[in-house]
Amino acid sequence: MLITFEGIDGCGKTTQIGLLSALMKEIGKDVLTLREPGGTEFSEKIRDLLLHSKDRLTPQSELFLFESARTDLVEKVVKPSLEKGTIVILDRFYDSTTAYQGYGRLIDLSFVKASNEIAISGVKPDVTFFLDIPLEISYERSNHRELDKIEKSGDSFFHRVIEGYKQIAKEEPERIVSIDGAKTKEEIFEIIKEKVKCKLQNEELKIINPN
Ligand code: T5A
């Protein structure tokens, strides 16, 4: 099972992933948590370039770097782990590219979608949690630390990213669970826990009764 978390910077993904991964381990599940960009030696190098390099990147070179990091992670880690039956929890996946490079950087959406398809080679999340917060909360939560390159992209960029996420969630209501990220950590985790419980039960039913 592949579970992904999405939302703007500071929306609380890492916090919820920590809680979910601990719970999964507690109930005896084999679970792997990964982040994008990152998760392999090569992808971590790309992450460093994307978030910290002093070079100016064009939107297109940024897009291709995210996709390169993704394809490395998918082929080397995500696919083999899913094949073994491991529950993979990903902090960001291709919806981030649609929201940030498509809606945010204004790269043609059909081009972004095609690039995503190449990078994921058929690997799709079973469920995606979109933690929806307004920009003010994102800024409040990050005001104690230094911002990376993408976080310095400005208000109008982030307003477009937020709208992009809302649109993506509207287009795929079966896969994407939108959650008000301004709720408390505990309230958010309750919603996530219930949804994952349902998914696990359905998966077990499928194993018992494949038809
Ligand atoms: N990117 C990424 C693209 O542009 N395109 C892509 O294709 C991909 C994959 C990655 C950057 O790259 C961009 C998006 C990003 O800008 P990153 O390191 O993954 O950067 O950074 P973020 O995703 O921004 O991660 P953050 O760590 O900043 O945010 P999280 O993980 O969403 O938030 P979290 O859990 O660390 O929480 C932030 C703070 O808020 C508190 C936490 O305690 C913490 O202090 N918090 C709450 N406070 C109150 N109520 C709650 N419910 C809270 N939940 C958490």
Which helix or strand (DSSP H or E) is residue 6 part of? strand 2-6
Query: Cα(70)–Cα(38) distance, rounded to whole angstroms?
Result: 8
Q: Report, as an integer, the average pLDDT of 88-116.
A: 98
Instruction: Give the residue carrying structure tokens 């782990």.
Output: 81
- 210 alpha carbon – ligand 1 mean position (Å): 38
Residues in the chain: 211
- Report how far ligand 1's centroid is from the alpha carbon of 208 (Å): 38
Nearest atom in ligand 1 to 150's CA: 16
pLDDT digits (tens, 9 = 90+) for 41-51: 999 999 999 99
Cβ-based neighbour number of residue 122 at 10 Å: 7
Q: Decide: 158 in ligand 1 pocket, CB within 6 A.
A: no
Query: Within 74-104, where are the H helices?
Result: 79-83, 94-97
Please give the model's pTM, rounded to 2 decimal places.
Answer: 0.96
Q: What range does the domain containing 114 cover? A: 2-208
The Cα 165–Cα 103 span in angstroms is 9
CB-based contacts of 127, cutoff 8 Å, min separation 6:
1, 3, 4, 175, 177, 195, 196, 199
Domain at 198, CATH number: 3.40.50.300
Q: Whose CA is nearest to atom 5 of ligand 1?
A: 97
What are the C-alpha distances in Å from 48 to residues 42, 45, 52, 166?
10, 5, 5, 28
Q: Is 112 in the pocket of ligand 1 (CB under 6 A)?
A: no
Indicate whether residue 67 lines ligand 1 (CB < 6 A): no
Domain count, the chain: 1
pLDDT at 207 over 70: no
Question: How do residues 145-174 score in pLDDT, each as one tens digit?
Answer: 788 889 888 999 999 999 999 999 999 999
Considering only residues 94 and 201, tell me which one the structure prediction assigns the higher pLDDT: 94
